[in-house]
Amino acid sequence: MALGTGYAQQNCSIARALEIVGERWTMLVLRDCFYGVRRFSDLLGHLDISRAVLTERLASLTDAGLLERRSAGGHPEYLLTAAGIAFWPTLYSLSRWGERYAGDGGRTRTFSHAGCGGEVDDLGQCPVCGTTPGPADLIVTLVEGSSGHRRSDPVSLALRRPHRLLQPVTPVAG
């Protein structure tokens, strides 16, 4: 949060969590990381965010231990750490709430268990095998007919195909 008067006095795990992930754009950066976006320019194009703010968010997420900055092929890549991956349930829960109460009520994306194909429920549990798959075992699929096809940047196009979370996306040029 990095303001003079942050949430420090709140002494509450929610407040402390929000000190790390509560700033504008931060959770959307994490969402993109789960979707497999790893590069500065891809995040920039997909989020429509100011370069300075993206730089700052990536640095603070890295400082906080949710992301790891790694050089790959001459360019940096930002990968989720264990602490970052552990944030998935919160993001999933927020997504489900948003589908129900911040849109037209319909599904926009579904998440299915890569192991058995079951579509996970509100709690993230697979109704077929009864486990709670981590993000690495989930396949995200855009719901056809949802309002989910507006953007046309390369990353958005690449994300229209079903794909496994955390696996790197390869944006198509154009």
Q: Closest CB to DNA among 25 and 163?
A: 25
Footprint of its own copies on residues 75-134 (CB under 8 A)? 83, 86-87, 89-91, 93-103, 108-109, 122-125, 132
Using CB under 7 A, which of 11, 13, 52, 174 touches DNA? Answer: 52
Tell whether residue 2 is a contact of DNA (CB under 7 A): yes
Footprint of DNA on residues 100-119 (CB under 7 A)? none
Using CB under 7 A, which of 55, 90, 93, 167 touches DNA? Answer: 55
The DSSP bridge partners found for residue 69 are 78
Here's the x/- map for its own copies, 25-64, by CB under 8 A: it reads as --xx--x---------------xx---------------x
Q: How far is the CB of 71 from its own copies (least distance, A)?
A: 25
Q: How far is the CB of 72 from its own copies (least distance, A)?
A: 25
Q: What is the CA radius of gyration of the chain?
A: 17
Tell whether residue 128 is a contact of DNA (CB under 7 A): no
The DSSP bridge partners found for residue 67 are 80
Among 167, 106, 100, smallest CA distance to 139 is for 167
Q: Closest CB to its own copies among 19 and 58?
A: 19
Return the range that interacts with its own copies (CB under 8 A); candidates 37-45, 68-76, 142-150, 163-171.
142-150
